[in-house]
Amino acid sequence: MRPVHHQADPQELGRVFDPAPVAVALVDAHDMTVRYANSAMRSITGCSPMELLGRTLGDVLPAAVANRSALLISEVRRSGETFSRVEVEHHPTADDDRHVSLSAWPMSSDGEAPSCVVLQLEDVSDEVRERRLRAAMAEQLREINEHLLIAALREQELTQMAEAANDAKSVFLAMMSHELRTPLTAIIGYEELLADGLSGPVTAEQQASLERIRHSAMHLLALIEQVLTLTNIELKGETVQRERFTLEQLVRSVAVLISPLASEKRLDFHVDLADGDFVVESDPLRLKQILVNLLGNAVRFTDRGSVVMDVSREGGMLTFEVRDTGIGIRSGDLQRIFEPFWQVEQRSTRRVGGSGLGLTVSRRTAQLLGGDVQVQSTPGQGSIFTLRVPDGSRRRDTAPAAGPPEAPEGPEAPEGPEAPEGPRLAEEGTAGGAR
């Protein structure tokens, strides 16, 4: 409300202040008595304007408000200045706190010390509570943000520590794998020399012992190769060697390794290949490694029934679907099987061996090729592992195909008797294949 500077005229004051929504009173600057009050003063004092006339501020206002108002009026009388929104807190009851905003300006324009002062009083309790609530919420938000920042920094620190530890682990595994592979390769070489009779005749009993040595050494070498592949992927040391080859070449090179393993367990094994002449541009050794891992697992975890691989392509992607009628996997373990060293059978007396790295390596290798490995399974009925990778979108008639990928010596090649011939492939969806 704008100050009014002139001599006190009750009628003029009534025209100006009676419609005001806030309490206004004209107070004698000497004895602090009320000379005029508008109707809104009732909300502050509980008295009508007529009841307030001639009474002092100490009689009609709470003590804290009256004392602060008297000081403010004295200051206005002394300086002739206007004071606005001076807040005063008072407590009508022990559980209630109220806030009043005081404004005061002189009622004179002749340059002399004012004899009367206009006092404006406004209950701002709700405004103060809202302001305090906003301040409390802002402080709470600040504390939350501070805690979140600390947690984020801690998480970042822990992540960096975990990454450093994982890198150290990978470097250690890679170093140890290399150190183990060197003497192991020498053992395999000496076994081959002995088996070939270069050091003298070998009896049937000695040949059997040498075969057991070779079998164990190759098994260890396969585990070491899996560890090396995983650590190289984790350390970003693996690269893709893209070549062009036909689907039939790839599938036959895989099937010739799996067929004898399936035959040994009397499992039905066949491959459905719709377009064997299609030319793929990818890394044949890595694709072969993934497929042999998936098919080798299917054979190991299937005691009776069949293992089937369907090969198809669509939209620039190759799909290899490996189905078995094995023991299956519980739904809660479907993603855990891709974790390093995790196996469905965690007991010390596992029926099926392995390092627990095959599926980890397979998925990460597939992702390295731009694809992925997914799984569906029903316990007691079997599993379906699906490998999808880009096909390179090239045909045999646009470029010559490279030769078939060589059989890997590491984890890609499951142990088993060699097959005299590769399995027959089912072309264009027809039934057939190795049994």
CATH label, 10-123, candidates 3.30.450.20, 3.40.630.30, 1.10.3720.10, 2.60.40.10? 3.30.450.20
User: pTM for this one?
Assistant: 0.49
Strands (E) across 124-255 are located at 243-246
Which residues of the chain form CATH 1.10.287? 147-234
The architecture that CATH gives domain 147-234 is Orthogonal Bundle (1.10)
Provide mean pLDDT across the span 351-361.
68
3-state secondary structure of 56: strand
Mean pLDDT of the chain: 80
For residue 314, what pLDDT is reported?
87
pLDDT digits (tens, 9 = 90+) for 115-156: 889 999 999 989 998 999 999 999 999 999 999 999 999 999
- Burial (Cβ within 10 Å: 0-12, 13-18, ≥19) of residue 31: exposed
Is the pLDDT higher at 395 or at 313?
Answer: 313
Q: Is residue 345 over pLDDT 70?
A: no
Q: What is the DSSP string of 34-49?
A: EEEE-GGGHHHHSS-H
pLDDT band at 164 (very low <50, low <70, confident <90, very high): confident
- Residue 124 token pair: 């701002």
For residue 207, what pLDDT is reported?
85
pLDDT band at 407 (very low <50, low <70, confident <90, very high): very low
DSSP state, 338? G
pLDDT band at 322 (very low <50, low <70, confident <90, very high): very high
pLDDT band at 343 (very low <50, low <70, confident <90, very high): low
pLDDT digits (tens, 9 = 90+) for 191-212: 888 888 887 888 888 888 888 8
pLDDT digits (tens, 9 = 90+) for 20-70: 889 999 999 999 999 999 999 998 999 999 999 999 999 999 999 999 999
For residue 84, what pLDDT is reported?
87
Determine the Cα–Cα distance for residues 18 and 26; give it in Å rounded to an integer. Answer: 12
8 A C-beta contact, residue 404 and residue 253:
yes
Determine the Cα–Cα distance for residues 425 and 246; give it in Å rounded to an integer. Answer: 14
Q: Is residue 234 over pLDDT 60?
A: yes
pLDDT band at 249 (very low <50, low <70, confident <90, very high): very high
For residue 169, what pLDDT is reported?
67
8 A C-beta contact, residue 5 and residue 82:
no
For residue 332, what pLDDT is reported?
84
pLDDT band at 340 (very low <50, low <70, confident <90, very high): confident
| Residue for token pair 């399936």 | 262
3-state secondary structure of 116: strand
For residue 294, what pLDDT is reported?
94
Provide mean pLDDT across the span 276-288.
89
For residue 430, what pLDDT is reported?
32
DSSP state, 77? H
| Residue for token pair 């499992």 | 267
Task: Name, of 52-61, 271-280, 387-396, the range with top average pLDDT.
Answer: 52-61
For residue 17, what pLDDT is reported?
86
For residue 352, what pLDDT is reported?
52
- Residue 397 token pair: 């008639």
Query: Which one, of 392, 375, 382, lies nearest residue 321 by Cα?
Result: 375
Query: Is domain 243-427 annotated with CATH 3.40.50.360?
Result: no
For residue 416, what pLDDT is reported?
39
> What is the strand order of the sheet 83-93 is part of?
34-37, 23-28, 116-123, 96-106, 83-93
Which residues of the chain form CATH 3.30.565.10? 243-427
For residue 194, what pLDDT is reported?
86
Determine the Cα–Cα distance for residues 63 and 249; give it in Å rounded to an integer. Answer: 101
Is the pLDDT higher at 215 or at 294?
Answer: 294
Provide mean pLDDT across the span 167-181.
69
For residue 188, what pLDDT is reported?
83
8 A C-beta contact, residue 308 and residue 323:
yes
Which residues of the chain form CATH 3.30.450.20? 10-123
For residue 236, what pLDDT is reported?
67
For residue 54, what pLDDT is reported?
93
